[in-house]
Amino acid sequence: MNSITRTSRREEVTEFEVNVSRSSVAELEGRRQRRQVADLVHAIPELMKIRITFFVGMSAAFGYIIASGGLRIGMILPVTGIFVMACASAATNHYQEIDTDAMMHRTNKRPLPAGMVTPAFVMALIVSLAVTGSLLVLLTGNGAALVLSWLAFFSYNLIYTPLKKATPFAVIPGSFVGSFPVMAGWAASGGNLFDPRLMAIAAFFFIWQIPHFWLLMDLYSADYERAKFPTLRMSFSEKAVAIMIFAWMVILAASSFFFVTTGVVGSTVAQAAVAALGFWLVTGTFSIIVHSGEKHASKSAFMKINIYVLAVTLVVMIDKVIGRI
Please tell me the least confidently modeled range out of 15-29, 163-177, 241-255, 309-323.
Answer: 15-29
- On the question of pLDDT at 317 being above 60, the answer is yes
Question: What is the average per-residue pLDDT within 101-114?
Answer: 89
**High-pLDDT (> 90) share of the chain, %:** 56
* Average pLDDT over the chain, rounded to an integer: 87
Q: What is the pTM of this model?
A: 0.83
CATH class of 13-191: mainly alpha
- On the question of pLDDT at 252 being above 80, the answer is yes
List pLDDT tens digits, range 136-166.
998 887 889 999 999 999 999 999 999 999 9
The alpha-helical segments, DSSP class H, found in 227-293 are 238-255, 257-261, 268-285, 287-290
| Domain assignments of the chain as residue spans, ordered by start | 13-191, 194-325
Burial class (CB in 10 A: 0-12, 13-18, 19+), 285: buried
C-alpha 152/C-alpha 67 separation (Å) is 20
